[in-house]
Amino acid sequence: MGTPGDNFRVVAGRYRLEARLGRGGMGIVWRATDQLLGRQVAVKEIAQDDSLSEEEARRQRDRTLREARAVAQLRHPHIIVVHDVVEQDEQPYIVMELLDGGSLADRISTRGPVDAAEAARIGVALLGALRTAHAAGVLHRDIKPANVLLGTASDEADSERVVLTDFGIAQVVGATTLTESGAFVGSPEYTAPERMSGLGTGPASDLWSLGALLCTILSGESPFRRDSLGGILHAVVFDEIRPPDEARPLLPVVRGLLERDPERRLEAAEAERMLRAFLDTGRTPARASASTSASGRTPKLTSRRTAKPAPGYTPTQRDVPRGQSVPSPSTPVPSPTPAATAEQPPRRSTRGVLVAALLVAAMAGAGVSAAALLLRGDGDGGVAKGASPVSSAPLTSTSAGTSPSPSRTPSATPSATARTPNTPTAPSGYRLAHDPDGFSLAVPEDFVRVPQGERIFYMSPGETFRLGIKMSDPETGGPLAVMKSAAAKGADTNPGYHDGKVTDTTHYGHPAALWEFSWNGFSTAEGPRHTYDMCWEEGGRMYDVWVSAPVGKVREAKEYFDVALDTFARA
């Protein structure tokens, strides 16, 4: 908390800004005094984008004021009270009630996770707030622990009060987004997959965020937390969803809220009924009307894709470890298991990778997308003549000098789905390389083609990432035999080779194998590396695509690998 200075700034001739309470992406929050009514208030000074033209800035101010006034009309005991919306010197300010209790995030940070009963109480309060907002056509779009306040006023009732605040990026249904400037807004760990996938937002998106919040306050960490933005996007849209053990008492609610398909997601009224039942009985009932699959069974929570492939795309087995099969685009992806052998993660469409790339570029302000592919060269990968291939293993979490944890490898389900002709296009941050050797694929814009005999490489500056491609005649035993042979020679071609794994799979119905391993790199300066390699037979030819990268950049590399496989096409 800031310290009041001698010279206070007065806004709109009435609100004296006395101390800065905090700062976020949407602006600065001040402790202030309403000099007209003689009461303490909180004033949010909305941040302005200096890069906007004068006309764009004016439109943004108008949207801010219009939608903030809509939020001010909301009346609910668990929604922050907005007293006033003012403008001074073309700067918008939102005047709100002042609560000194701190946020739910502060509580978790200082006192640890809450128990199931407290989580249920908080959930009921927030569901009531959201139902009121949604009925008024207002979407919050940034539900997270930091935006939930716990009142600590002198009276006992207020000390128990749960308050949803910071509607700073709220959206009025049918209106232009409050913070619309071409950038994504929100907190990735709590953002619904349909928003990540560019499929729009609605009340169900806020309910997904509440599900993630419940997991966080019960365990102390969001189930979608990863060590990079790209990793978070992947976790939200594609990875297995594993609610923490602490969420078990409320699991039917958590699972219902974290349903990837918004049409199947638990509705607010039903979620509130279930949480109230838990508070009354100590047991959470099953949802009254769970959506069911064609088989009549409720689909599993994990790995359901909501984004459809972009026109002209056919998803490929980029995420599938060698030795695993690829689900058809129309078949729900099976739930992952912890096992690391012969398992297949849910495949993503190129549209999904494109969306992740666009989001990262928008959110991080970077010129490259989140998708990054692991490359293999001599010693890095490629099944030809002693080179070790890299598998298209699932996205895994790693730290420097360690191989990815097998616990994140999802399960495989065989599929005979054949690849259909497609006309791939490059995601944001990529270019479609039409290689003179008779194939095409999307590679990052700064990757350079480097032919090496039978292999073609596309390398990043400094060769940090090495993407390799090789085409050859089929060999006896098929891809699995070729990859196993290469793995047996892994120590000869890859210094310090370890944790190698070859799995049998299919690639759109074609025989395939995936090889994943770690090694020490070609020099001390280069350092430990990790490689993914996919080999398959198609149309009387054998294809091999691999990516190699430093172990500390496995997530980025895996995304490069995924995009390469997703867009690979024969000439």
**Residue 453, amino acid:** G
Catalytic-role residue among 84, 100, 142, 499: 142
Evaluated on CA atoms 124, 125, 130, 131, the torsion sign reads positive
| CA-closest candidate to residue 219, choices 189, 240, 260 | 189
What's the rounded Cα separation, in Å, for the pair 278 and 14? 47
Q: Is the dihedral of CA 376, 377, 380, 382 positive or negative?
A: positive
142 belongs to the catalytic site = yes
453: its two tokens: 């005999």
Direct distance between the N- and C-terminal alpha carbons of the chain, in angstroms, rounded to an integer: 62
Strand partners, 433: 441
Question: Going along 382-524, which residue ranges are E strands?
Answer: 430-435, 439-444, 448-452, 455-459, 466-472, 498-507, 510-519
Calpha distance 257→268 (Å, rounded): 9
Instruction: Give dist(CA 90, CA 87) in Å, integer.
Output: 6
In b/e form, how buried is each residue of 1-35, taking b as 16+ CB within 10 angstroms? Answer: eeeeeeeeeebeebbbbbeebeeeebbbbbbbbbe
Burial class (CB in 10 A: 0-12, 13-18, 19+), 503: buried
Q: What is the separation of C-alpha 107 from the centre of its chain, rounded to a whole number of angstroms?
A: 25
For residue 538 the two structure tokens come to: 């198609």
**CA-based nearest residue to 233, from 262, 197, 185:** 197
Residue environment code for 131-150, b if the CB has 16+ CB neighbours within 10 A, otherwise e: bbbbeeebbbbbbbbbbbbb
Which residues are annotated as catalytic? 142
